Amino acid sequence: MEWTPDNSNQDIEDRRGESGGSGGFGGSGFGLPHLGIGGLLIVGVLSLVFHQNFFALFSGGSQATYQTRPAHPQATPGKPDREMQFIAFVLHDVQNFWDKALPAQAHVVYRHAILVPFRDSTPSPCGTAGEATGPFYCPADEKVYLDFGFFDELKNRFKGSNAEFAQAYVVAHELGHHVQKILGIESKVSRLEHQHPARANALSVDTELQADCLAGVWGHSAQERHIIDITDIQAAMSAAAAVGDDRLQKMATGHVSPERFTHGSAAQRTAWLKKGLDSGNISSCNTFSASR
């Protein structure tokens, strides 16, 4: 990725200097379906690369060695480091894109989400944000909760642009959920889930695939502006495929149960990300009416 350091604190509520909990996955109580896109991305990719089932950490596996991760120095809020400068650049680029694209394409005014970087854990209206959930969007307060512990692991295993664009993909996906909230999609899905509980998983798949497509819509603009190139796009496709429900289920349980999909298969995720990348238009992202 081509980017310039961004020292702005606009739209950022930095909680990295706060003590939010003991850290580590042990005793989190979260199951696999509750992982956010960031958690799925990083745990899935690391498992594939290192040929080790990191999902055992969420199911009471005995090798929960992740808890021994060395402590990182706490950042001082208001003093951006390179990590924060990069995330700030991505956040502002994606939101500046939607400032123009949402009124132009959907005739709706975009309002900025707030990004909350944290370590270990931090409270949110959607529940405690922690390492086991990974980065996620909370519609109740319109904030993206971003666990820098996950990003540290990704950066340590992957170098250069591949790691950077994987991080950017996470941020763009979560902001895609914010776009869904603004467009009224999130509230409609929530009502349908309550009215038709049996459709909850299918609705979740549609929602997540649309967020992938919306991330691709931003990626289309980023490619046109030479922020990303074909190598970054290939990395994004690989990352999207790595966190397909079929691959993750196979890795975690040894078999695939399509009826339990919550984010979509590897083929679906790459297909919808590519739709957004190719079209650059929200109208291409109607996962709810498409026949998959």
Residue recorded with tokens 């042990």:
26
Tell me the three state secondary structure of residue 252.
helix
- CB atoms under 10 Å from CB of 277, counted, come to 23
Cα end-to-end span (Å), the chain = 32
Amino acid in position 95:
Q
* Residue at 160: amino acid letter: G
Phi and psi at residue 228, in whole multiples of 5°? -125, 160
Query: Which tokens hold the place of 68?
Result: 């021994």
Q: Supply φ then ψ for residue 138, to 5 degrees.
A: -110, 110
The model's pTM is 0.78
What is the SS3 assignment for 59? coil
Please name the residue ranges forming H helices in 60-130.
82-106
Torsions phi, psi of 139, nearest 5?
-65, -20
pLDDT at 215: 93
Which of 58, 59, 83 minimizes the C-alpha distance to 72?
A: 83
pLDDT for the residue numbered 49:
41
How far apart, in whole angstroms, are the C-alpha atoms of residue 268 and residue 292? 8
- Please choose, from the candidates 216, 131, 222, 144, the residue with its C-alpha nearest in 3D space to the C-alpha of residue 178: 144
pLDDT at 56: 44
Q: Which domains does the chain have, with CATH numbers?
A: 32-285 (3.40.390)
Note whether 130 and 39 are within 8 A (CB).
no
List the pLDDT tens digit at each of the 292 positions of the chain: 788 877 778 899 999 887 554 333 222 222 333 455 545 555 555 454 434 444 443 443 333 333 333 344 444 554 558 888 999 999 999 999 999 999 999 999 999 999 999 988 889 998 887 766 678 899 999 999 988 877 776 666 555 556 677 788 889 999 999 999 999 999 999 999 899 998 888 898 899 999 999 999 999 999 999 998 888 777 777 766 766 777 666 666 777 777 767 777 888 888 899 999 999 999 999 998 864 4
Task: Give how far Cα 161 sits from Cα of 45, 86, 277, Å.
Answer: 16, 12, 18
> Rounded distance, CA 267 to CA 219, Å?
19
Residue recorded with tokens 């679906």 = 268
